[in-house]
Structure 1
Amino acid sequence: MTKPAKLQLKIYQGATFRRRLRWLSPDKMPIDLTGCTARMQVREEVESTAALLELSTENGRIALGGTAGTVDLLIDAGTTAAITWSGGVHDLEIVHPGGEVTRLAEGSCCVSPEVTRD
């Protein structure tokens, strides 16, 4: 079982958010993500019923790099501009082709408010 990495995220409201992660084996070799999907949710608290933000391979906010073991998170500027919350918690899960789920990362997420706007 893989222990989730601690990942603190900071989103700048009104700016494009990009973050690249790399999943490596204990001997520093990339984990093959071919055929996998990924999902991530941000919630105000772990117990909160509603997600504040969702990223997934299905909605285009997560891209997996196959044999390179990369996980790219992407949130467009329009979406970050519409954020009305200041922080929360998240986790990032990889779903393998056979259905096994690995929690790759978990942690907090904060939003830096935008000053320059229309």
Structure 2
Amino acid sequence: MHILRVLKGSDTVLRVPFDHHADLTGFEAWMQIRKSKSNEVVLDELTTENKRISIGHGCFCLSFPHEITENWSFRRGLFDIKAISPDGGEVRMAEGKILVIPGVTR
């Protein structure tokens, strides 16, 4: 399980590793943040389509721009990342917690 710390109101880029032997060539990635696994509300969504998640060699690179994080009203959440194969199959590759760190300097 991963714990991601995102600085509220700042541009934050984080990497989430996965098995470096996994070949995700041609795959897309999809990540959602929710307050709990059973909660229907999506707090944020990162995809390769919206260019907020990319697939590198052995890791997912996640982008949290300040324009989005400054409007977050939650302090904690859960996430998972799925890899979507070219034929539409889904594999959950990572999961964890998001901690939103508020700023002090204003």
What TM-score, normalized by structure 1, do the two folds share? Answer: 0.81
1:88 aligns with 2:83: no
Amino acid corresponding to residue 74 of structure 2 in structure 1: W
1:31 aligns with 2:22: yes
d(CA) in 1 for partners of 2:35 and 2:18? 26
Residue 54 of structure 1: aligned partner: 45
> How far does residue 105 in structure 1 lie from its aligned partner after superposition?
0.9
CA RMSD of aligned residues (A): 1.5
Larger radius of gyration: 1
Report which of the two has the higher share of strand. Answer: 2
d(CA) in 1 for partners of 2:21 and 2:81? 17
Structure 2 unaligned regions, length at least 5: none
1:22 aligns with 2:17: yes
Tell me if the contact between 2:18 and 2:94 (Cα under 8 Å) persists in the aligned partners. Answer: no
Residue 3 of structure 1: aligned partner: none
Q: Percent identity?
A: 34
Residue 40 of structure 1: aligned partner: 31
Partner of 1:78, secondary structure, is helix
Aligned length: 106
Amino acid corresponding to residue 43 of structure 2 in structure 1: L
Partner of 1:79, secondary structure, is helix
d(CA) in 1 for partners of 2:104 and 2:67? 15
Structure 1 unaligned regions, length at least 5: 1-5
1:62-95: CA deviation from partner (whole Å, max 9, x where unpaired) = 0123xx2331111112211111111111111111
